[in-house]
Amino acid sequence: MEDKIVKEYQIKKIIDNKIQNENDRIIKEQPLTVFVNGYELVTLMTLPLNLKELAVGFIASENIIDDYDEINSINFSHQDTIVQIEISKDVDINLYKKRTLTSGCGKGVTFTNLQDCALDEVYNDNFKINSSVINQLMSEMQKKSDLFLKTGGTHTAALADQNSIISVMEDIGRHNTIDKLIGYSYQNKINLKNKMIITSGRVSSEIIIKVLKQKIPILISRSAPTSQAVEIAREKNITLVGFTRGNRYNIYNDLNRIII
């Protein structure tokens, strides 16, 4: 496993202008081209780990499947750089490639895709978490970020319930870590409506739209959101937390889901 995702290189480490020769562990990346029913959908650059979860999560995020049972087969080839997914319904791939621009919908949020604009709000008034778990789970996730700890080159995201982490995914891309968690949840029939996602990465609109599409009520980040992400959270009822570091965090949208 190790040699598939991490490679050692001889490098020079310079500290105070002094040279040390060292072996350094560096994360690998590879392209993964996703075909659905024979149509080429996308090429993702990714860490070669949890590729099945990535492929399933990506087509779930694109609304191509609503349920894991719609998948008939998943076949990897060409040293895992191509995945062919067969699904049981007809799919017009061009629809998913088309991004329609809109200058705003609802209360004025700009979506890049009209379909996203029409997405339902997230409702789950029973899912609440204690304030104390926010910093605690962020720190737990970071301890479980094996590849980040070894290489410093990955983003990490975790799926959690009120109290504990269910799965941790790492990738070279922020988006891929979220898709891997969604794919994992589809495979394992996990109900996402009473879970939360914790991420090391910044929260742009593309990230929060993935969360919105799965109706995940809480998103917790170590980093900053964009203003568009804050507005989508407020319009669609997603609890959004950022800058979760040490003993502090920021609440951009609350909805009484956090008990302080």
Annotated catalytic residues are: 105
- CB closer to a copy of itself, 63 vs 187: 63
Torsion angles phi and psi, residue 114, rounded to 5: -60, -35
Q: Which span (149-157, 160-168, 183-191, 193-201) binds a copy of itself, by CB under 8 A?
A: 149-157
- CA angle (99 as vertex; 96, 104 as ends), nearest 5: 130
The verdict on 95 binding a copy of itself (CB under 8 A) reads: no
Q: Can you name the residues that pair with 219 across neighbouring β-strands?
A: 197, 240
Could you say which of 28, 52, 128, 144 contacts a copy of itself (CB under 8 A)?
28
- CB closer to a copy of itself, 191 vs 247: 247
User: Alpha carbon of 91 to those of 41, 96, 125, 188, 189: distances in Å?
Assistant: 11, 9, 34, 24, 23
Q: Other C-beta atoms within 10 Å of 138: how many?
A: 23
Q: Can you name the residues that pair with 199 across neighbouring β-strands?
A: 157, 221
Nearest one of 3, 2, 71 to 35, comparing CA atoms: 71
The verdict on 146 binding a copy of itself (CB under 8 A) reads: no
The verdict on 209 binding a copy of itself (CB under 8 A) reads: no
Residues of this chain that interact with a copy of itself (CB under 8 A) are 6-7, 9, 11-17, 19, 24, 26-31, 33, 43, 45, 78-79, 81-82, 99, 101, 103, 110, 112, 131-132, 134, 151-153, 172, 202, 204-206, 223-228, 230, 243, 247-252, 254, 260
